[in-house]
Amino acid sequence: MSLLVIGTLAFDDVETPYAKRDDALGGSATFFAVSSSFFGPVRLVGVVGQDFPDAILARLRDRSICTEGVEIAEGKTFRWGGRYEADWNTRHTLKTELNVFEHFDPKVPSDYCGSDFVFLANAAPAVQMKALAQCTKPRLVMADTMNLWIDIARDELVELLGKVDGLVLNDEEARMLSGERHLISAARKVLEMGPKFVVLKKGEHGAFLISEDAHYAIPAYPVDEVVDPTGAGDSFAGGFMGYLAAAQDTSAATLKRAMLYGTVTASFCVEGFSIDRLEACDRGAIERRFNEFHSIVSL
């Protein structure tokens, strides 16, 4: 089945208590695409500046990521800079230079319009809806969002929620969006806004899936050493949807297995800067860690 992601390609300047990396390839669509590419081809829609090396797009294409939908616009590529505290959960954003992403007008190439699985990575809900409107017969649409949009574009976000099947969000966002403190109540309230399922990400504390007919909670994979948490959420979404698209199924049982695959790709993501560790993996590495994680969470 065909999988499409609309989101950012970026350069990140990342600081952790242990190391620092400038000009790291990042962006929601990048992490999603690389993580989902283990399961099959993926189509990428985004925008980069003229400073974006062709060689990177070629590297992505080598992983069966179709970059036909990556527009090269006049100006510079989106750049994000942040610093993590030693607990990994506290992140300080040091810079957000939208650059070419500021006026991103997603254009889904005509041969992508019929994609079955669509991931709308974090962006203004109006932009996400513009992208979605170009998809003619999606079988499953999942969206990400962030506190900024809950705050300043709530109406558009609520409109978007009526059009998607799944939403991924972290605990803080779930509380903000629903007005409920308790996470499960918060997720239930979000379900009432339209999505058929909600994936609550709790970082190093695991993830929770809630839908009408499934409640599923998993811890995080116990990685040996976190190097850089940037991209973990999008890598989770990539593994999750990559598996769904490959399985060609959206039943509760398949969504649950997809949670494990999402955890696995996210765990590889955080073991390196940028997509370093993910790029060094193959499907075999994913399956070995899936089996290990499956045994860790199984009675």
Q: Which residues bind a second copy (CB under 8 A)?
A: 182-185, 202, 204-206, 208, 215-219, 222, 224-225, 253, 256-257, 260, 294-299
Work out how close the CB of 192 gets to a second copy at its nearest, in angstroms, rounded to a whole number: 17
- Roughly how many angstroms between the first and final C-alpha of the chain, as a whole number? 32
- Adjacency order of strands within the sheet including 91-97: 20-26, 10-15, 79-84, 91-97
- The residue assigned the tokens 């499907």 is 283
Comparison of 54 and 213: residue with beta carbon closer to a second copy:
213
DSSP secondary-structure letter at 51? T
2 vs 263, beta carbon nearer a second copy: 263
Distances (CA, A) of 153 to 74, 158, 160, 161: 27, 9, 11, 12
Identify which of residues 130 and 175 has a Cβ nearer to a second copy in the complex.
175
CB 166 within 8 A of CB 142: yes
Q: Which of 70, 207 has the CB closer to a second copy?
A: 207
* Least gap, CB of 292 to a second copy (angstroms): 8
Query: C-beta of 84: minimal distance to a second copy in Å?
Result: 15
Inter-CA distances, 34 with 23, 30, 294, Å: 18, 6, 22
Tokens of 282: 């193959």
Q: Which one, 137 or 181, has the nearer CB to a second copy?
A: 181
CB of 141 to a second copy, least distance (A): 24
d(CA 295, CA 289): 10
Q: Taking the complex as a whole, how short is the minimal distance between the CB of residue 283 and a second copy, in angstroms?
A: 20
